[in-house]
Amino acid sequence: MNIGNMGVIGVGATALLAGVAVLLAMVRYDLGPRARLERGGWWLLATALGTGMAAFAVKLGIILAVANLPGVLVDPLITRVQTAHPARAAGPSVATPGPRRYVWQRLPSAAPAPAPAPVAGAADYPWRALPEAAPAPAGNPTTPARVALGERLFFDRRLSRDGTVACASCHEVPGGGADGRPTSVGIDGRTGGRNAPTVWNAAFQAVLFWDGRAASLEEQARGPLVNPLEMGMPSLAAVEERVRQDGDYREAFTAAFGPGEPITIDRITAAIAAYERTLITPDAPYDRFVRGELDALTPAQLRGMALFQAVGCVLCHSGPNFSAASVFEPQAPLRIFPAFPTPYETRYGLTEDSGAAPPGSPRGSWRVPSLRNVALTGPWFHNGSVTELEEAVRLMANVQLGRTGHLLIWSAGDRVLREVDRPELGEREIGDLVAFLHALSSDRLAERTEGAGKTPPGAVSYPSAGAAPRAR
């Protein structure tokens, strides 16, 4: 405890003792006689009036306790309060890099790592399979006509300014629903700053985009159309006019929304969202296991499933869609990332973009991504910086679960050098977790991607203008 804190204790204790003396004198010589209280009544009155001073003492104790906590523990808590995300312009957004606040030196481990201890809050976790159908808002039912129209719009490159980019350019439906690139390529070869999330099972997410700025599929579908780094249309009105120019679309819109209903951006995005709500994968080995097919998982996958729960992965990647940002339990869709300072954040540039956190924040704030089909959607993380799933798991164990190994950490914020030794996960644990993540892949998507090698970036065949969409 430093000298400043001792001074606070001295002043607080003096004030507390003085208050007690004054209170007792008031009760003994003034309030008690006026109220004609007996001696027992005096003590009861003094006790009742003294609760305020007791509260003062408790507050003083809390302030001193927080003031003496290590900065590495307090910093993430303070940052989390500041991560309510403001409204962002559509499209990838790269924040100004925050100051470098930590320096690390890795030390040799003193002893073999023990088996991971169970994390509080992860016990008795209820595993659930993905539903067979996605929920739809009352105003946009998933009808066959709307789905067919939305599929056609999803694959139509003419919705981009130069006719070269469709929704399916970055979200390849035949594969994992992403594009296999670190960051996506839009019109004129422009690249954004973020990795394309998968479109598969997006219908189960309560917020969309990496920073969670869209609250529905309908809202999300507007952004890429006018983003200058993606499809680049000058305005949403220009999108409407481009669609109206195709006579075949008029007939499809009539079938989807009724006769006499004009082609508007709201109906365009409603149709795209209706199609995306059909892109779900409840056919993973994990789902079959949870539904009662007890031999659906390999021994390694079953061990990985147990470890996924024990070390606390389920605290963020929870529910049937393996995301706390899902419609099943969207109480905390955004989380601090990275939560623990480690060398990984500089190695992979994890803090160069702060997501939903204020620009310049030392920690980012990001939507919890779904882990469904995660083995098919590399490279990983918001900047696509990690190319191996094993490394992605190892990184998450370090920066989110605190399994950092033996480190010296210099904190520039409070100018303190700390030594921490939190056992890392071993290679067998990493392998078992990776095996379990493969069990979250759709059987049919895995067959497509593995049968053809991995779907290379840009390998989707798009329909020609006016034709029904096809993918192969």
CA distance 355 to 337: 9
Asked if 195 and 171 touch (Cβ cutoff 8 Å), the reply is no
**What's the CA angle centered on 338, arms 169 and 128, to 5 degrees?**
70
In the block, tokens 């003062």 appear at 56
Please provide residue 191's backbone torsions phi and psi, each rounded to the nearest 5 degrees.
-120, 140
Active site residues: 230
CA distance 442 to 200: 10
**Token duo for residue 180:** 């296999």
Give, as one character, the DSSP assignment of residue 215.
S
For 113-116, the CB contacts below 8 A with 24+ separation are 113/423, 113/424, 113/425, 113/426, 114/423, 116/307, 116/310, 116/311, 116/403, 116/423, 116/425, 116/429
Alpha-carbon torsion, ordered 395, 400, 402, 408, to 10 deg? 70
CA distance 123 to 120: 7
426-455 core/surface letters (b: 16 or more CB in 10 A; e: else): eeebbbbbbbbbbbbbbeebbebbeeeeeb
CA distance 150 to 274: 6
CA distance 92 to 12: 51
